[in-house]
Structure 1
Amino acid sequence: MKPHALIAALLLCAPFAQAHDSARAGAQDAAPPPAYVPGGRIPLLHGPIVIDGKLDDAAWQGALVQEIAYDIQPGDNTPAPVKTSVRIGYDRNALYFAFHAEDPDPARIQAHLRDRDSAFNDDWVGVFLDTFNDHRRGYELIVNPLGVQADLIRDESNPENQEDPSWDGLWESAGRLTATGYDVEIRIPFSTLRFPRSGGLQRWGISLFRNWPRDKRHQLTSHRVPRDSRCFQCEWGQYTGMEGVHQGRNLEIVPTLTAGLGQTRDAAGTPWGKTDSKVSPGLDVSWAPSPAMTLNATLNPDFSQVETDQLQVNFNDGFALFYQEKRPFFLEGADYFTTPLNVLYTRQIADPDFGLRITGRSDGSTYGALLARDATTQLLVPGVLGSSFESLDQKADVAVGRYRYDFNQHASVGVIGTFRRGEGYDNGVAGLDARWQQGGHTLSAQLLHSDSRYPQAIVDAYSDALGDNPRPSGNAWQVQYNYGNRNWGFSALHVDIDPGFRADLGFIGQVGYRRSALSGNRVWYRDDAAFNRISLAATGGTSSRFDGQLLQRDFKLSLAVQGPMRSSFSLAPLVRTRFWNGALFHERDLSLFAGLWPLPNVRLGLAANAGRVLDLTGSRLGQRLLLNLNGEADVARGINLNWDLIHQRMHRDGGTAFTASIANLGGSWQLTPRQRLRLTLQGSNVERNQALYADTVNQHARDRAAQLVYSYKINPHTALYAGGAWGGFLDDDHPALFGDTRSVFIKLSYGWQP
């Protein structure tokens, strides 16, 4: 069937899908799975357990036995298509889980040797823990059939990023393929977890989970999850026990040593510059004086990144690029500082000499504080129509504080403050936020105020953004309402940010505007059909400058379906009126997305956009085509290849104004569960036609980079990294591609727990 015929068929069948849904929902309500209520008292185990993936230890006979009984996606709390039994118990120092996962066709089990936090597309089992039982923050610990670990922090109050894989806990796991499926054992030391200070009975929410990826990705749980639930964590089973558990000293000292050699040069054919050698010792300390509080300190930290950033090109977009934080000191506990507006973006703390942090929870209180001394001062200079980064060659003192009080599982209020000060410079932000959720309704709001002082050099360089004012100040506020049930969703948003507002430790790249937006969606479920989920959504909004000038008016429709081979497809037309360079431009385009697994070990993705859009540099409308091909393939149990290729082209005024291409290519070989070899290749190419631009443009630009890294990890804190990197470029001033950077490095860290 041709694509347009398929889309038409889906639109025609949507009303019938709704009727089918209602009938099917009624049938499911009338015939639920056999009576099974998760939860109970977790018993004290008697005797040792060896974490080897073999469920033969005698102590398991005294464990609580549970079942992963329900299919919640694509099923609607239907009986799980495969059987999974789970045993749970504890001793004085740790919590234990044993998963016995059966499979009708064990040959189809997806299991690969991978790096940590990389096995999400495999078969896997997991345990999710709400240790404070407040439906706010939880741990997710996941293990594939070969024992590969992944761990995440779940934050129910953050709809933009509910699952954060940056947390790395210290826990043990082992997996083993069997003739009937696979077995997994897990040991979680209580020192790894945070829970209420109590020597008596603990009461935790726990979800037992199994990922079963076949023609569709089946998500199986130990408990029901209604499709109209807005809080997954609220549905977890209730478990008691673990009296008198022992957290231990919970002190970890991690000395680090980084050594590297690097060279640069300015032009092709010139000799490489003097070798820059560096040997840098550092120290990280983590201590939990109570089960609910953690103190962290870092001295002379090595914040070099072992994993490279995804290559991006700030092309035909006036706003600064956002890169994810990857440095462990800032990643741990990052969710404690989350608020609706992004007022803390820790990559703005670029090169700290030291850092101190405290995070904790007590009753309904959640708190965090961060202090640092930064060797440089990096600024994100925002504006109405664009933003850019600037750096001050001076040190800065940094202080951040966050407090939130949860009245109950429905309502909370919080405060946050971020402060940075240097020579002739300071920036302070303080504000309040609140959140209420009940049933399908969620309402959140935040109000912030900032005061700043900038050196005259920054004011002169960015007079358009700062308005010749060295002491800008202003307010920012946001209100958002969301409603959702099984089939319908609605959202309303208003944001208002003054032109003088600055959050220099955050990532707010646009100021001096206000925006209001509405969106709604309808979902149809067809659990026994090839295309099991169909959704139709509409979004519209208006943005205006602080003086009333219209900046943008937009309306977007989106049709999305999920189907066989774990596939998803969407089609989204957009119409937009946009203000730029003193004029309004009328844009219209069409976006297409497709993703599927044609083979069990191969994922393919395509994103395309075509239409009449604005060339920002030329301030002219043209016909643009943007293509993004991405995917990954497991060619052997331990070898993974991945690719992300982007190409865009703009035709206008009888010619091609520009072409731009980006390639991110990677490959990794997991030699053993602890050893990994990774190769990353990156490149970009931009060509502009000077004849179609009034101002002088850089007509040719090309970048190339490569990195090879070997790693040996005993655990997340005890590891060896060694590798090298090369980079090169060309532009109008350097017409031949040449290498301008090259380096080698070695990094050692050792996690010691006295």
Structure 2
Amino acid sequence: MKPFVPTPHALAAALLLCAPFAHAASQDAGAQPPPANYVPGGRIPQLQGEIAIDGKLDDAAWQGALVQEIAYDTRPGDNTPAPVKTVVRIGYTADALYVAFHATDPDPSKIRAHLRDRDAMFNDDWVGVFLDTFNDHRRGYELVVNPLGVQGDIIRDETNTNNQEDSSWDGLWQSAGQLTADGYDVEFRIPFSTLRFPTGGGDQRWGISLYRNWPRDKRHQLASHKVPRDSNCFQCEWGKYDGMAGAQQGRNLEVVPTLTMGKTQTRDAAGDPWRSGDTSIEPGIDVSWAPSPAMTLNATINPDFSQVETDQLQLDINNSFALFYQEKRPFFLEGADYFTSQFDVLYTRQIADPDYGLRVTGRDGGNTYGAIVARDAAPQVLIPGTQGSQFQALEEKADVAVGRYRYDIGTELSLGAIGTFRQGDDYANNVAGVDARWRKGAHTATAQFLHSQSEYPDDIVDLYKDDLGNDATPSGNAWRAQYGFSNRNWNFDAWHESIDPGFRADLGFIGMVGYDKSLVGGQRMWYRDGKAFERISLYADWDITHRFDGQLLERELEAQVGVNGPMQSFASLHGMTRIAYWNGKLFDEHYVDLNANFRPTGNLQLGAYLQAGTMIDRDASKTGQRTMLELFGNANVGRGIAVDWDLIRQRMRRDGGTAFTATVLNAGGSWQFDPRQRLRVTLQGSEVKRDQALYVDTVNETARDWAAQLVYSYKINPRTALYAGASYGAFMDDDNPTMFGSTRSVFLKLSYGWQP
């Protein structure tokens, strides 16, 4: 269980009003209770006439739409009347759903609206429509738009407690918005070809939430329906809407050819001549076809998996486990939520360089399924252990297959199965398992069991034999069971997991094996409606971990108090004490940390994190006094310019000296010229300094690197785009003391989405 930390959730919406209705709606922008007979939901009518998606609510066809209101402040309010008026109209045609919002504001000058890239506008004012197209409270779409028409879209997975909202999905839909004298207006057109819903031509029943984000001193989340604070299923509270009879998806075929070109040069040290590598020209093609509204087939040949923006730089110091990086490649992001389970048995960045890929995802009644088949030209293996993990390239091609199935029994119980399989010439890793989830009221219970069988070449066995034995064909089980309770004021969590030493999930991200761990924790929340500090939370948990042979690895107790306050602020004070096992010894560790962030203005966010205490220096197997300071934030300049920064510095003092200092910087800025054009610059750097006198083994006394990237993008939609960029990176360490060995490159990427 994790302590509560508020995030800029993607939930908000409001509606429309065409010209004949605008005057009436604009007369009341203040907090008024909804009409006594107002009930969210109803029948969505078929519209008559054309609607231009231009942000102007003057098309006559809107007069035949269903009228709804965003009537409730669900946070920080407790389903109190919304402080601003939002009218929404909904209708459909044979091929698309239409939604329009008329959002008024008592002080339109305070509306936050910026030109941004897709999914980068959640701190603005925005409105949105959330769709549960199967009306099963499990998977939904969240489509939101800011006052300037900038889009954000999210897949919501109520069954995934670790990541309920995933913004990596990009749908094809149209939107437009404009600021007005009394607020702003927004229009949506959502083609049915973008959505998945039950087959059949009759009436549909969808769960729908209409939402508005109104960020001022507090971040007000306004909804068309009530959201009880004791609810642990947001999607269950959405209104019920009927209609969409005869909805058509058309041919629902999309072909996206891509072309990526690049050139790289390297040199060993400053002043040395640059050495040119080969010019790469890589064509590829992606095909997507939905033979029915509930099924999608995808295929890719020589897919373009180039990253147009860099990963966040992470400093790998005083850490023995492999670092996790988010997947960014479109083929694997599409439908990724179909493959989630309680253990991370599928981490698609393990499929490093596929020659081709095939995927199918779909839903039919209570059945949800997904499958992936690929040929990977450069697979890698995550070598796990009880004290650390590392990635290792597998010097052979491998065939990959993944399958996931879930059967929903009513609205409370789900049963599932998952399998991942990878096969090479003298290598194999097969994982299969079952899982279950039950939720009723405030209670949720989950469980999963997995079994793996593997075969490895000698060079892989040599990397883990000291920790887990010299076994070329390891096998083992992994299981986890969890119970959670959540109501208005209390959360409780208890779970146990166990992973055998021989368990391997090479297509996943499970870096620690050969242990069992138990945790119990709880949280108490106090709400102070109308007060400056409106929410206070107190959290604590206790956990214990043993190695497979009974050796204690960790016993930990932690607690945190957090508070939400004015200027959208959050602050927490956290403390932890534990006994940790490292390199054959038990050590005492304890620290406290303070985390705070706030928005002094609508265009500036500032944050800081400070941690201090006694920690293990793992390279020396000793404890010392470690401090870490992180400064982060972002700022908007005008409508289109944004900058962001994250600076972390840590220091370890012990034995009368400073064992190491480490600094890492991630910074960047973007200039959005218009909704399609963007220029982005990224700067990253790190420096690590160690005192060799405080270490027995030889260490790098100085290591330094930095990188920069400049990317111009022109996007007509998520499938049709142009990227052009350049990057430069350099490093130095004890073996390369002259600044710098370095690399520079340029690239061009073109893609075109064709729908015959």
Determine if the TM-score, normalized by the shorter chain, exceeds 0.5: yes
Q: Return the offset for 1:265.
A: 2.6
- CA deviations over 1:379-417 (Å, ceiling 9, x no partner): 100000100000012111000000000001110000000
Q: Distance in 2 between matches of 1:185 and 1:46?
A: 17
Decide which of 332, 335, 339 is 2:334's aligned counterpart: 332
SS of 2:160's equivalent in the other structure is coil
Alignment of 1:448 onto 2:450: yes
User: Could you say which residue in structure 2 is the equivalent of 1:260?
Assistant: 262
Q: Return the offset for 1:737.
A: 1.8
Decide which of 591, 594, 597 is 1:595's aligned counterpart: 597
Q: Return the offset for 1:33.
A: 5.2
Q: Distance in 2 between matches of 1:597 and 1:677?
A: 25
Decide which of 690, 704, 707 is 2:706's aligned counterpart: 704
Q: Distance in 2 between matches of 1:426 and 1:278?
A: 32
Decide which of 509, 515, 518 is 1:513's aligned counterpart: 515
Q: Distance in 2 between matches of 1:210 and 1:698?
A: 52
User: Could you say which residue in structure 2 is the equivalent of 1:584?
Assistant: 586
Decide which of 154, 178, 181 is 2:180's aligned counterpart: 178
Aligned ranges 1:615-654 → 2 under 5 Å: 615-654=617-656
Decide which of 373, 392, 395 is 1:393's aligned counterpart: 395
RMSD: 0.9
Q: Distance in 2 between matches of 1:730 and 1:52?
A: 53
| Matched-pair contact (CA < 8 Å) for 2:732–2:741 | no
Q: Distance in 2 between matches of 1:127 and 1:346?
A: 30
| Matched-pair contact (CA < 8 Å) for 1:684–1:704 | yes
SS of 2:276's equivalent in the other structure is coil
| Counterpart AA for 1:703 | D
User: Could you say which residue in structure 2 is the equivalent of 1:23?
Assistant: none
| Counterpart AA for 2:616 | L
Decide which of 482, 487, 490 is 1:488's aligned counterpart: 490
Q: Distance in 2 between matches of 1:269 and 1:119?
A: 43
User: Could you say which residue in structure 2 is the equivalent of 1:16?
Assistant: none
SS of 1:107's equivalent in the other structure is helix
| Counterpart AA for 2:106 | P
User: Could you say which residue in structure 2 is the equivalent of 1:11?
Assistant: none
- CA deviations over 1:52-92 (Å, ceiling 9, x no partner): 00000000000000000000000000000000000000000
Q: Distance in 1 between matches of 2:278 and 2:623?
A: 47
Q: Return the offset for 1:270.
A: 2.9
Q: Distance in 1 between matches of 2:508 and 2:555?
A: 27
Q: Distance in 1 between matches of 2:339 and 2:478?
A: 18
Q: Return the offset for 1:140.
A: 0.3
User: Could you say which residue in structure 2 is the equivalent of 1:471?
Assistant: 473
Query: Which runs of structure 1 show a deviation greater than 6 angstroms over 4 or more consecutive aligned residues?
Result: none
SS of 2:119's equivalent in the other structure is coil
User: Could you say which residue in structure 1 is the equivalent of 2:607?
Assistant: 605
Number of residue pairs matched by the alignment: 724
User: Could you say which residue in structure 2 is the equivalent of 1:676?
Assistant: 678
Aligned ranges 1:408-419 → 2 under 5 Å: 408-419=410-421
Q: Distance in 1 between matches of 2:277 and 2:431?
A: 42
Alignment of 1:89 onto 2:110: no
User: Could you say which residue in structure 2 is the equivalent of 1:663?
Assistant: 665
Q: Distance in 2 between matches of 1:254 and 1:404?
A: 30
| Counterpart AA for 2:724 | A
User: Could you say which residue in structure 1 is the equivalent of 2:529?
Assistant: 527
| Matched-pair contact (CA < 8 Å) for 2:113–2:125 | yes
Q: Return the offset for 1:621.
A: 0.7
Q: Return the offset for 1:275.
A: 2.7
Q: Return the offset for 1:163.
A: 0.2
User: Could you say which residue in structure 2 is the equivalent of 1:435?
Assistant: 437
- CA deviations over 1:232-269 (Å, ceiling 9, x no partner): 00000000011111110100000000111011233443
- CA deviations over 1:620-653 (Å, ceiling 9, x no partner): 1101001111110001100000001000000000
SS of 1:461's equivalent in the other structure is helix
Q: Distance in 1 between matches of 2:593 and 2:476?
A: 37
| Counterpart AA for 1:653 | D
User: Could you say which residue in structure 2 is the equivalent of 1:269?
Assistant: 271
| Matched-pair contact (CA < 8 Å) for 2:383–2:463 | no
Alignment of 1:230 onto 2:232: yes
Alignment of 1:218 onto 2:248: no
Q: Return the offset for 1:558.
A: 0.4
| Counterpart AA for 2:550 | G
Q: Distance in 2 between matches of 1:44 and 1:270?
A: 69
User: Could you say which residue in structure 2 is the equivalent of 1:366?
Assistant: 368
| Matched-pair contact (CA < 8 Å) for 2:282–2:304 | yes
Q: Return the offset for 1:583.
A: 0.7
Of residues 281-290 and 258-267 in structure 1, the stretch that sits farther from structure 2 once superposed is 258-267
| Matched-pair contact (CA < 8 Å) for 1:70–1:220 | yes
| Counterpart AA for 1:556 | E
Q: Return the offset for 1:466.
A: 4.5
Q: Distance in 2 between matches of 1:416 and 1:491?
A: 25
Aligned ranges 1:304-383 → 2 under 5 Å: 304-383=306-385
Q: Return the offset for 1:34.
A: 4.2
Aligned ranges 1:713-732 → 2 under 5 Å: 713-732=715-734
| Counterpart AA for 1:608 | L
| Counterpart AA for 1:579 | Y
Of residues 33-42 and 246-255 in structure 1, the stretch that sits farther from structure 2 once superposed is 33-42
% identity of equivalent residues: 69
Q: Distance in 2 between matches of 1:585 and 1:428?
A: 37
User: Could you say which residue in structure 2 is the equivalent of 1:68?
Assistant: 70
Alignment of 1:142 onto 2:144: yes
Q: Distance in 2 between matches of 1:714 and 1:344?
A: 32
| Matched-pair contact (CA < 8 Å) for 1:726–1:739 | no
| Matched-pair contact (CA < 8 Å) for 1:459–1:466 | no
Q: Return the offset for 1:271.
A: 2.2
Decide which of 294, 297, 300 is 1:295's aligned counterpart: 297
- CA deviations over 1:267-298 (Å, ceiling 9, x no partner): 44332223321001000000000000000000
SS of 1:276's equivalent in the other structure is coil
User: Could you say which residue in structure 1 is the equivalent of 2:688?
Assistant: 686
- CA deviations over 1:478-506 (Å, ceiling 9, x no partner): 01110010001100010100000000000
| Counterpart AA for 1:116 | R
Q: Return the offset for 1:313.
A: 1.5
Q: Distance in 1 between matches of 2:675 and 2:166?
A: 23
Decide which of 563, 567, 570 is 2:569's aligned counterpart: 567
Structure 1 residues 444 and 67, CA, compared in 2 at 3 Å: closer, same or farther? Answer: same
Decide which of 116, 128, 134 is 2:118's aligned counterpart: 116
User: Could you say which residue in structure 1 is the equivalent of 2:9?
Assistant: none
Aligned ranges 1:530-545 → 2 under 5 Å: 530-545=532-547
Q: Return the offset for 1:739.
A: 4.5
Q: Return the offset for 1:573.
A: 0.9
User: Could you say which residue in structure 2 is the equivalent of 1:204?
Assistant: 206
Q: Distance in 2 between matches of 1:496 and 1:347?
A: 25
SS of 1:462's equivalent in the other structure is helix
| Matched-pair contact (CA < 8 Å) for 1:174–1:185 | yes
| Counterpart AA for 1:234 | C
Q: Return the offset for 1:462.
A: 2.9
Q: Return the offset for 1:422.
A: 0.8
| Matched-pair contact (CA < 8 Å) for 1:261–1:743 | yes
| Matched-pair contact (CA < 8 Å) for 1:138–1:155 | yes
User: Could you say which residue in structure 2 is the equivalent of 1:282?
Assistant: 284
Q: Distance in 2 between matches of 1:258 and 1:537?
A: 49
| Matched-pair contact (CA < 8 Å) for 1:643–1:666 | yes
SS of 1:479's equivalent in the other structure is strand
| Matched-pair contact (CA < 8 Å) for 1:674–1:714 | yes
| Counterpart AA for 1:83 | K
Q: Distance in 1 between matches of 2:695 and 2:246?
A: 73
SS of 2:112's equivalent in the other structure is coil
| Counterpart AA for 2:82 | A
SS of 2:279's equivalent in the other structure is strand
Q: Distance in 1 between matches of 2:158 and 2:445?
A: 14
SS of 2:462's equivalent in the other structure is helix
